[in-house]
Amino acid sequence: MSTDSSPPLAPWSQMLLSAVNELRALAEEDGAALDSTVQEDLRRLFRAAASLETQLASPALDSHHDQMNSLAAIRGYAEILQEDTAADTTGLGDSLARLLQAVHTAHNGAANPPPPARRTMAAEPGFILAVDDLQENRELVARYLSRSGHLVVTAASGAEALQALATTDVDVVLLDLMMPDMDGREVLRRIKEHPEWRATPVIVISGSQDMDGIIACIEAGADDYLFKPFNPVLLQARIKAGIERKRWHDREEQYRQQLERNEKFIRATFGRYLSDEIVTEILERPEGLELGGDLREVTIMMSDIRGFTTLSEHLAPQQVVAMLNRYLGTMTDIIMTYNGTIDEFIGDAILTVFGAPQRRDDDADRAVRCALAMQDAMATINADNRAAGLPELATGIALNTGSVIAGNIGSERRSKYGFVGHPMNVTSRIEDHCQGGEILISDSTASKLQGTYALSDRRELAIRGIEQSVAVQRIREAGHD
């Protein structure tokens, strides 16, 4: 190396460059005895030393950052070479030790104590993204970490780093701050704002020791901040901790996704037997499974196909099931559209309640609109039946409003969300009087209606098992015949 008319070098610089020259002489003398990997690492070390000498001879405004990059490369390759040539007899080991002592003095400002012995930190292999605009820094980090079993991918810019994150599952990001175009702080901000990347640990590695900048990075979400030239053992420890955090997060995310899948499965499965509201009650409130109930005012709807038993006697079992499933499937969709709670299917009959488990001010109106929609849907059902060579159907629907006990009924081993009370029986008896295509509502339901409907044919029904008669009326939408 030439010093020509350059300004005098600091003592640590003279010591370091002297050690590099000594190492170069040994390498030239014994080059034939060195394997290709060692020779390549030596070339990289000498290249970094040449850059450092240039920086020392013509210091610029950002020379400290550049010097730290060069020192990091010199130290890194010297430690790798020291490990790789531990058993060699060429004298490289002693020369490398002196070089590392010089680097230590340059970085710490004192000749003693000597740099700590290199040791390997056992860690689970991970996928590491090293982001640095300088090729020598990227190559050094890749050499360090690949020796520990990590898979390393590098990025020369912030844009490349974001592209790598978008296409690979990265465990830890090693991020340089001073880069052209998009600097490390902007990359860090984007990582931590991205919903899929924010849990990825980011370790900032920089030659800058500005305390405000360090605090800003930590506040922005950086998991750690290391100075160049970095301590390789410390870096391995940080990476190990980062990989463990990422693994825990990935496992938690898998558990969360599994729970979501399980909940969807529960909703889809039990939604075939219970209303969405009841399933939600069970999933979100553990006490929702406890036996017991409370008094609720509800509007009850009972629908039934007229003469279904007689019709089914003349059909094959497969035809009966197909016809019934077509009918019940259509009716179920309509009932759920109007937020009704299907209590149960009783053969071809459907028992539905409006007002439990969730009460609404328009329970009676929704029950009426639901019944009207069900009767309107019979035209489509019958058209499909005719096309399939099946008989047409007619359904009667009864509506009644009253107070019932709503809750979990049964035993600890077998229970259901159901309804008990006199109004349930009354509704069933009213439904017995319905003709095909007819909707009958009791006065108790009519008095709760807020909308405008056409009521007709008011009459008193003598209900079996009930002393008092029940007043009912036919109902249809206003303006419809």
Name the nearest CA neighbour of 356 among 346, 347, 367.
367
Strand partners, 443: none
Note the residue count of the chain. Answer: 481
Check: CATH 3.40.50.10860 for 127-251?
A: no
CATH superfamily of 289-477: Nucleotide cyclase, GGDEF domain (3.30.70.1230)
Element (H, E) at 172: strand 172-175
- Catalogue the long-range contacts made by 217-224 (C-beta closer than 8 Å, 24 or more residues apart): 217/177, 217/185, 217/188, 220/185, 220/188, 220/189, 220/192, 221/188, 221/191, 221/192, 222/175, 222/188
Which token pair is 353?
A: 């309640």
Is the CA virtual torsion 396, 398, 404, 407 positive or negative?
Answer: positive
Per-residue pLDDT tens listing for the chain (481 residues)? 444 444 455 666 777 888 788 888 877 777 666 778 888 888 888 888 888 888 777 766 556 667 777 788 888 788 888 777 765 656 677 778 878 887 777 766 555 545 554 545 455 788 999 999 888 888 888 888 888 888 999 999 999 999 999 998 899 999 998 888 898 999 999 999 999 999 999 999 887 777 888 888 889 899 989 887 777 778 888 888 888 888 888 888 888 888 777 777 666 655 554 556 666 665 665 554 444 567 889 999 999 999 888 888 888 989 999 899 999 999 999 998 998 988 888 888 999 999 988 888 999 999 999 999 999 999 999 999 999 989 999 999 999 999 998 877 666 566 666 788 889 999 999 999 999 999 999 999 999 999 989 999 999 988 777 778 899 999 987 655 5
Q: What is the pTM of this model?
A: 0.49
Which token pair is 152?
A: 């390393």
